[in-house]
Amino acid sequence: MSSLRARTAIVAAADTKVGAVPEMSATQLCVDAACRAIEAAGIGKEQVDGLLTCNAMAEPYMYHAEMIAEYLQIFPRYCMSIGAGGGTTFALVHHAATAIANGLCDTVLIATADAMRSGLSKERAFALMSSAGHPQFESPYGPSIPAFYALIAQAHMHAYGTTPEQLAAVAVNARDYASRNPAAQKREPITIDDVLASRMIADPLHVLDCSLVSDGGAAIILTSAERARDFPGEPVYLLGAGEGHSHEHISQARSLTTSAAVESGQRAYTMAGLGPRDIDVAELYDCFTPVLLIELEDLGFCDKGAAGEFVLAGELGPGGSLPTNTHGGLLAHCHPGNPGSMFSLTEAVRQLRGESCNQVAGAEVALAHAQGGIMSSHATLILGTEATR
Amino acid sequence: MSEAQRNLPPVTVETRPFWEACRDGRLLLQQCRGCGHRQFYPRLVCSQCLGRELDWIEACGRGQVESFTIMRQAISPAYRNDLPYVVAIIRLAEGPTMLSNVIDCDPEALQIGMDVELRWATVTDEITLPKFGPA
């Protein structure tokens, strides 16, 4: 297959209300996101011939994408839901682009949502919280999801001298951007001291090192580069996409401190013909503060082990060398489970269209990265404006 | 809280010999007859060469802390009395890594690279968990 570089473009991107949205179910949030994207694209629903979703924990269906198609009375020729945890949404984009480039469909709606905050029964929330990890070889020891990420953080601190202050700086950066984003769930600015003084969950992770629990959904419409100019919005081209998958369970990982973001990033850079220095703005998965440090290193934005200093020096902030998570990320904007990274994608689209509330001046190329599981399933996207095609 | 509410491993036909050995105080690994690779957890095939001839070998029970965290919030009421408890990745002397608890120690004194050795924790009549303590 020839390269996917600039073969497809995002022509619409939309978010639902996020945070606590108790008045809407997970399915309604997904449908709301889908309809907002269809409206933004200025098309009729009958023009959607591909539909990709991810299942919702709060309201799962055996065939989720088919359920959403049925709900909206859409009859696609390409239809599936994918589950790769937090990496799901970018894997969906990768699959959609491949399908379009190969003529399986023309116009793909990718819609994801969940209601992790308001939509889970107490029993279900409890069951999810108390059964993290491999059912035989991890879960009996009583680990939590934050604990798995704490294992990564401790290993990184031990190997590279990363400090709790440097981890905290990731959360402070997210809140700073979120403080100027009216859509964000947590908008009060915080300091490094606030993070360090917050309740310890699993050493070295404090509660403010952990992402939010949210309701929300987001959707995009992807089509061929040729068709993209027929839509009202400025097309945002998919220049590179890559994935890397290394394990499911952290106790079986090849490395605790170097992730398959190395491979997913390299694959995306190669396709795009670009490198880390070409990236104007980054939207990186930040379910826990150490994750973002490892991604910065593995995606080549700084040397291995140097991400803590990079963040503490303010490089991710406005005017830094790599403005990152300009919507507030999972730490401050919202984190409705698997759909969380879709908000990175819709923010990247806003940045490249000059529409972000934390606009990076002259942004032409954006990199978005997501991972799912416990640093298990990585997907990197590189997006660009018309000028970068 | 009763021990029965803890997360118990759902034993499968694949892992029954492993859990039965645990009950007898033996930690089993698999060793590939073809390439010599040693692996944990138990699998149908060698994860290095996909060979199907695997022998059970008994681990010596020594290892090192690869990483660890101190749990400050229990995952369920059954684990609350254990707080603060240590969840760790242990690198066994034979090579494979496994998740476990480090017990019989001051969690604050634990360090990455520390030598540990097996400690057996009986949970039910059926299930005994391999845990670790300071060597």
* Residue A345 in tokens: 């994608």
* Mutation site for A-interface testing, chosen from B67, B123, B129, B131 by largest number of A Cβ within 10 Å: B67
Verify whether the Cβ–Cβ distance A202 to B74 is below 8 Å: no
Angle in degrees, 0-180, between the axes of helices A289-298 and A164-178, rounded to the nearest 10: 100
Verify whether the Cβ–Cβ distance B67 to A152 is below 8 Å: yes
Task: Give burial (CB, 10 Å; 0-12/13-18/19+) of A66.
Answer: middle
Q: What angle do CA A312, A184, A20 make, to 5 degrees?
A: 130
Would you call A151 an interface residue with chain B, using a CB distance cutoff of 8 Å? yes
Would you call B73 an interface residue with chain A, using a CB distance cutoff of 8 Å? yes
Q: Report d(CA A339, CA B94) in Å as an integer.
A: 40
Nearest chain B alpha carbon to A205:
B69
Q: B65 to each of A149, B98, B120, B131, how far by Cα in Å? A: 16, 10, 17, 12
Phi then psi for residue A255, to 5 deg, are: -150, 145
DSSP helix/strand/coil, A151: helix
Spans of chain B below 70 pLDDT: 1-4
**What stretch of H or E contains A212?**
none
Residues A70-119 have pLDDT tens digits of 999 999 999 999 887 888 889 999 999 999 999 999 999 999 999 999 99
Q: What is the pLDDT of residue B3?
A: 44
Q: What is the pLDDT of residue B2?
A: 46
* Mutation site for A-interface testing, chosen from B64, B83, B89 by largest number of A Cβ within 10 Å: B89
- Domain of residue B33 covers 3-134
DSSP of A326-356, one letter per residue?
TT-HHHHT---SGGGGHHHHHHHHHHHTT--
Total number of domains constituting chain B: 1
Q: What is the pLDDT of residue A242?
A: 97
Would you call B41 an interface residue with chain A, using a CB distance cutoff of 8 Å? yes
Q: What is the pLDDT of residue A333?
A: 98
Phi then psi for residue A21, to 5 deg, are: -125, 65
Residues A274-311 have pLDDT tens digits of 999 999 999 999 999 999 999 999 999 999 999 999 99
Q: Report d(CA A249, CA A319) in Å as an integer.
A: 38
Return the half-sphere exposure (C-beta side, CA atoms, 13 A cut-off) of residue A54.
29
Would you call A302 an interface residue with chain B, using a CB distance cutoff of 8 Å? no
> Which residue type, as a one-letter code, is found at position A291?
V
Using an 8 Å CB-CB cutoff, list chain A residues near B69: 147, 150-151, 154, 202-205
| pTM across the whole model | 0.96
Spans of chain A below 50 pLDDT: none
**A50-53 and B38-39 beta bridge pairing:** unpaired
How near does any CA of chain A get to the CA of B94, in Å? 15
Say which of A142, A201, A249 has its CB closest to residue B82: A142
How near does any CA of chain A get to the CA of B59, in Å? 16
Using an 8 Å CB-CB cutoff, list chain B residues near A249: 99
**A281-284 and A236-245 beta bridge pairing:** unpaired
Would you call A75 an interface residue with chain B, using a CB distance cutoff of 8 Å? no
DSSP helix/strand/coil, A183: coil
Q: A309 to each of A164, A168, A313, A375, how far by Cα in Å? A: 11, 12, 6, 22
**Average per-residue pLDDT in chain A?**
96
How do the domains of chain A map onto residue ranges? 8-120+212-388
Q: Which CATH architecture describes the domain A8-120+212-388?
A: 3-Layer(aba) Sandwich (3.40)
Q: What is the pLDDT of residue A127?
A: 84
ipTM score assigned to the predicted complex: 0.97
Q: What is the pLDDT of residue B4?
A: 44
How near does any CA of chain B get to the CA of A271, in Å? 30
Verify whether the Cβ–Cβ distance B75 to A130 is below 8 Å: yes
Residues 6+ apart with CB under 8 A from A376: A85, A87, A245, A246, A247, A248, A249, A260
Q: In what order do the strands lie in the sheet with B38-39?
A: B38-39, B28-32, B54-58
Would you call B47 an interface residue with chain A, using a CB distance cutoff of 8 Å? no
Nearest chain A alpha carbon to B91:
A251
Return the half-sphere exposure (C-beta side, CA atoms, 13 A cut-off) of residue A190.
25
Cβ–Cβ < 8 Å for A27, A67: yes
Say which of A131, A154, A201 has its CB closest to residue B72: A201
